[in-house]
Structure formats: C-alpha cells, structure tokens
C-alpha cells in the first residue's frame, strides 16, 4: 500500500488537488503496478510564511 505525502507552499484549489492525486495515482499504477484502490495520498498546504529556501523565507522578495 503506497502512502504519498505532497507538501506545497500555499493553498491549492480543489481542482488542482484532484488533478494532482489523479496523476500521482496513475503514475503509481503504471510504474509500480500499484492498484489505485491501494494508493493513499495526503496533501499538506503549508503557508508560504512557514517555508524557506536559500536562507530566506519564501515570502521575502527575491527568495
């Protein structure tokens, strides 16, 4: 049973989430042979204020 966790900076729309889980599920079936009914996916929408890259918060200009 695959468990996949996707973390993104900021919110997603319902349609974006549907597409993400659909495509990930499809890849797991095609590449790993896992049935869609066995694939669990969670999406964590983390506020941009909680992310940093290169020593700078993503909310900062030029980050």
d(CA 28, CA 31): 5
Positions annotated as catalytic residues are 2
Measuring CA to CA, which residue among 17, 15, 14, 35 is closest to residue 26?
35
Kind plus residue range of the DSSP H or E element containing 9: strand 3-9
């Amino acid at each position: 049973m695959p468990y996949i966790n996707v973390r993104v900076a900021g919110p997603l729309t319902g349609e974006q989430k549907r597409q993400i889980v659909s495509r990930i599920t499809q890849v797991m079936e095609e590449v790993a042979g896992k049935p869609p009914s066995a694939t669990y996916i969670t999406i964590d929408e983390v506020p941009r204020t909680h992310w940093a890259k290169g020593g700078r918060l993503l909310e900062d200009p030029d980050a």
